[in-house]
Amino acid sequence: MVHCTSGISSTADQAVIAVQTGKYYALLIGINDYADEGLSDLDNPVNDMENLYWMLHTKYTFDKENITLLKNPTRNEIIVALDRLGGTLSKNDNLLIFYAGHGYWDEKGNVGYWMPADATMQNTVNWFRNSTLRDFIGSIQSRHTFLIADACFSGAIFKTRAAFPEPSKGIQKLYELPSRKAMTSGILQEVPDESINGVSDHYPHVNKLNNRA
């Protein structure tokens, strides 16, 4: 009698792996156009966002339906998207957040902001505080959350947090440890709005993802 169980075992193993790794979600935000004349319009954030969207669903394991694109969103639209993710992700899922647009650092208050499309220079009502973003990221029950921010002074987003040590453990063990990490364009430094061949030359993070795929 021959017992052919290898196929069943393999299928079961794959199912277990899928459950353990969860799904991959992304929130991609790109802001070119600002209503307030005091904030100059930008040329490349939306293009960078769309390039990253293409990369994630063609070269990485992101399903299109799990990628949210916000083109020139208002502050409220950003909050609604983050709130929706908080109610969708499970502890096994993974989240990538990408922001490209204006940022602002208030030296007097020691507070950093993202500038949504409806932000005005007259007041901060529609500005999006970095601390608000940290609160959302902390409350989303994902296994791993990775933030990529390309904005003036975006480096201050996690400035108050300690560095993230990398323990010398196996890859699988590392994956089991929840993480919240950020990749930004620099600590309290303005970034130019330039592009070469459709991909922002000042923004190496998207290029790195593309080259590694």
- Report pLDDT digits (tens) over 101-129: 999 888 888 888 999 999 999 999 999 99
Closest alpha carbon to 94 in 70, 68, 62, 134: 62
Could you list the residue range(s) of the whole structural domain that residue 122 is in?
23-212
Q: Is the pLDDT of residue 157 over 80?
A: no
85-98 pLDDT per residue, tens: 999 999 999 999 99
- Terminal Cα distance for the chain, rounded: 46
- The whole-angstrom separation of Cα 144 and Cα 93 is 7
In a domain, 34, yes or no: yes
**Which residue in 143, 158, 148 sits closest to 184, CA to CA?**
148
Q: pLDDT at residue 169 above 50?
A: no
Taking only the tens place, the pLDDT of each residue in 199-209 is 444 444 555 55
Determine the average pLDDT of the residues in 14-38: 82
Average pLDDT over residues 157-166: 41
53 located within any domain: yes
Say yes or no to pLDDT of 83 above 90.
yes
For residue 32, tell me if it sits in a domain.
yes
Domain count, the chain: 1
Per-residue pLDDT, 184: 59
pLDDT at 79 over 50: yes
pLDDT of 71 > 70? The answer is yes
Say what the pLDDT of residue 105 is: 84
**What confidence score (pLDDT) does residue 132 get?**
94
Average pLDDT over residues 167-179: 45
- Asked whether the predicted pLDDT for residue 1 surpasses 70, the reply is no
- Whether 109 is in a domain gets the answer yes
The pLDDT of residue 150: 85
pLDDT of 21:
72
The pLDDT of residue 57: 93
Average pLDDT on 37-61 reads 93
Tell me the percentage of the chain whose pLDDT exceeds 90: 48
| Per-residue pLDDT, 65 | 97
Buried b (16+ CB within 10 A) or exposed e, 1-24: eeeeeeeeeeeeeeeeeeeeebbb
Return the CATH number at 106: 3.40.50.1460
Question: pTM for the full model?
Answer: 0.72
Give the pLDDT mean for 182-193: 50
Query: Is 196 a member of any domain?
Result: yes
